[in-house]
Amino acid sequence: MSFNKKNIRCALPFASFMFIQLVVLRLANQSGRGFLPEAQQEKVYLFIQVAAIIGFLSHALLRCLKGIQRLYKPLLTIAIAFCLLGAFIILFCSPASLFYLIVTGIDVLLLGFVGGSVYERLSLSANARKHLGVCIGIGYAVSVLLQFLLQLQWTVKPAVTILMLLSFVCLVAFLLKNNNSQASADEGQATANPKGIPIFSVVITFALLLFISYYNSYIHHLQIASGYTDYNVYSLPRLLMIPTIILFGVLGDIKGGKLLPVCTLCVAAMALLNTALIGSETYLLNMCLYYIALTAVIAYYHITFLRLAEHTKQPALWACMGRIIDSVSVIIAFGLKLSEQSQVTVLLINVVALAVVIVTMAFSGALNLSATKEAQEEPKAEIDPFPIIQKSYNITPSELKILRELVLTDDKQEVIASRLNISVSTLRHHITSIYRKTDTQTRLALSNLVNSVK
């Protein structure tokens, strides 16, 4: 399997969304400065996380509601348009106002709604499935690199403006063109994943994210204890996220992602051992390990839930579940006031969090690497691509019969119409509709589309 242009077309929208998210969240964190009292300023971050959660959940809820799927595309278009408007308002306006704070909340909520659509589309995209990990790795790496380059001279707003516009254009092309390719969550054709694997993944992700939060607090305890304050921890160490996300993206594609949980656990354990055994004398190393561990967890929950989503009854919800858990863990960690706890307490909680991860992985079979080899030796079941195409592109039953004829035979339209007992004009009307829905123009293109599902 080769990584081709179709996969790039999936990596690029994810990179666009992640870049927009990183920029908007950075700007959102400035909300209220010069307007809110200092004691209230720290709560702005919680406000942003809650808005993001509401955005993701509102998209998932909309996809579950029956009878209003025709409104989905117009609502998504409106959400993207106002999200773009809000992004430029907070980019160019002063944060010292109530207006800025309100616009920030609305914009983050709309971004969550748009993000839910991106995650769902990726989870159901046949182009991305074969190289999902690499798509996620490349997309996230590009967004981190752009953010890093821009933060060196963040006041250069023309560059940010141009990149934001290009990113939104990319999202529009990805989400609104052939938007019917997103399967409706209410069609009921997905099957629940066996053995409660999604729940196990929730527990593992939640424990890993809490570990990352506490680990970050713990190494800051070490920084204070060592008096090491000269190094800007948000510059060079952050660049380690780029090779790490690509590496873990590749791991996510090997053996169906079986190596990903184990490798993520190993990185987290290595980071903890370094702080516990070596301590404050290696603060720079601790920060490097923090970004590596953080990126490994991000790769884990993105790839895991995007893969699980298509096997659940609510793919729109499960596709973005990792991102929702991320925001929830931030809120919980903030409520526990890590900075006020002792270094020993935070270290013990780190150990407990990793213990929960190990037990849950063992119980769910994530640590059983031998199962992968056995699974690979089993013959792959034949996949009928036509029901998948019907579901993905909203093909009607009548159109499905014609689609089969167009792909599986070389007969002329008159012959097909006679076999199906319909007029040639009716047949041509259905063919035009099929071409429009699938964004194809020839029978060869239709055949290639169907074969790409196999």
Interval 108-159: pLDDT, tens: 999 999 999 999 988 877 556 678 888 899 999 999 898 888 875 555 678 8
Which one of 161, 187, 213 terminates a domain? 187
- The pLDDT tens digits of the residues spanning 187-227 come to 434 444 444 578 889 999 999 888 888 777 776 666 656 55
pTM above 0.85, yes or no: no
- Reading the block at residue 90, the tokens are 């907070």
Label residue 30 by pLDDT band (50, 70, 90): confident
What is the Cα–Cα distance from 308 to 107, expressed in whole angstroms?
A: 28
- Inter-residue long-range contacts of 338-344, CB under 8 Å, 24+ positions, other chains counted: 338/213, 338/214, 338/217, 339/217, 339/220, 341/217, 343/218, 343/221, 343/222, 343/225
Residue 227, CA atoms < 13 Å, CB-side half-sphere: 0
Look at residue 169 and tell me whether its pLDDT is greater than 70.
Answer: yes
295 Cβ contact partners less than 8 Å away, ≥ 6 residues apart: 240, 241, 244, 245, 248
Are 103 and 18 contained in the same domain? yes
Look at residue 84 and tell me whether its pLDDT is greater than 90.
Answer: yes
Query: Dmax of the chain from CA atoms?
Result: 85
Flag whether 223 is in a domain. yes
Tell me what percent of the residues of the chain surpass a pLDDT of 70: 82
Written as one letter, the residue type at 171 is L
Are 80 and 205 contained in the same domain? no
Domain of 34: which CATH number? 1.20.1250
Written as one letter, the residue type at 237 is P
- Reading the block at residue 102, the tokens are 């309100």
Average confidence (pLDDT) over 277-301: 81
Per the structure, the complete domain to which residue 267 belongs is given by 191-309+336-368
Look at residue 181 and tell me whether its pLDDT is greater than 70.
Answer: no
Look at residue 71 and tell me whether its pLDDT is greater than 70.
Answer: yes
Flag whether 354 is in a domain. yes
12 Cβ contact partners less than 8 Å away, ≥ 6 residues apart: 139, 170, 174
Flag whether 265 is in a domain. yes
Average confidence (pLDDT) over 19-40: 84
Are 364 and 262 contained in the same domain? yes
Which one of 167, 187, 207 terminates a domain? 187
What is the Cα–Cα distance from 398 to 390, expressed in whole angstroms?
A: 11
Label residue 375 by pLDDT band (50, 70, 90): very low
Q: For the ranges 65-79, 95-109, 124-138, which has the lowest average pLDDT?
A: 124-138
Which one of 187, 216, 241 terminates a domain? 187
- Would residue 72 be called left, alpha or beta, if left means φ above 0 and alpha means ψ between -120 and 50 degrees? alpha
